[in-house]
Amino acid sequence: MPSPAPVKTAAHADAVQASLVRIAAEVASVVDRLAAQPDDLDRVLDVLTGADRVFVLGAGRSGLALRMTAMRLMHLGLDVHVVGDTTTPAIRATDALLTASGSGTTTGIVRAAETATAVGAKIAAITTASDSPLGRAAEALVVVPAAAKLDRSGAASAQYAGSLFEQAVVLVGDAIFDALWQRSGLDADDLWPRHANLE
């Protein structure tokens, strides 16, 4: 016999509300600190707009966040490829690799950065660790003041694992898109025809 569904109480709602408030405060703090370093984000814009093609790579939840950014960059008309898709071509010297890794040491991402560097492509990276292999390889680097995935101290974030970093990747990606959109002079009607129609 199946167990009865848990009874929802006001305490449940209060717990979720408290979590939302705590998470929003952490995200707001990260955004404030990133906004105080506009040159870092400007360098990312320069790398992306100066590239013939943009390759996007992240692992796990960071990778999912960057896929959202890839879609938005495609809406702007950039030639974008998600690394690992079967139709992704070889990266070249005139291309850029946009990537994210909280630790900056994720094996597949560091290996991809090494390949990109070897062919002369530029790298834009989002990480918590500037002095990591990924951080050192990047021409444009956004350092997110958040806990790395294995940091369980609670000092940088009360959230589990790398949640704050992954949330920041979403916001940084949307900010990159929005800034490029504002520069472009295009309106939403110009972008919409590029939206997927095989859904």
| Domain CATH number, residue 178 | 3.40.50.10490
User: CB of 122 within 8 A of CB of 152?
Assistant: no
Cα 130 to Cα 1, 78, 95, 102, 106: the distances in Å are 54, 27, 22, 10, 14
Low-confidence ranges of the chain (pLDDT < 70): 1-10, 148-150
Q: Is residue 126 part of a domain?
A: yes
The pLDDT, as a whole number, for residue 152 is 72
And the tokens for 14? Answer: 């209060």
Does this model's pTM top 0.75? yes
Instruction: List the Cα angle 13/1/11 in 5-degree steps.
Output: 10
The pLDDT, as a whole number, for residue 4 is 66
The pLDDT, as a whole number, for residue 149 is 66
Q: Is residue 192 part of a domain?
A: no
The pLDDT, as a whole number, for residue 160 is 86
What is the 8-class DSSP label of residue 194? G
As a whole number of angstroms, the distance between CA 189 and CA 181 comes to 12
Residue pointed to by tokens 């809406």: 75
The pLDDT, as a whole number, for residue 67 is 97
Instruction: List the Cα angle 127/146/162 in 5-degree steps.
Output: 80
The residue range of the domain holding 113 is 11-187
Residues 6 or more apart whose CB falls under 8 angstroms from that of 119 comprise 90, 91, 92, 93
Q: Is residue 195 part of a domain?
A: no
What total number of domains does the chain contain?
1
Looking at the chain, list the stretches that DSSP marks H as alpha helix, in order from N- to C-terminal side. Answer: 10-35, 38-49, 60-75, 107-119, 133-137, 163-184, 188-191
- Catalytic one among 26, 114, 139, 166? 166
Q: In the annotation, is 199 catalytic?
A: no
Q: Is residue 3 part of a domain?
A: no
As a whole number of angstroms, the distance between CA 152 and CA 159 comes to 9
As a whole number of angstroms, the distance between CA 147 and CA 49 comes to 30
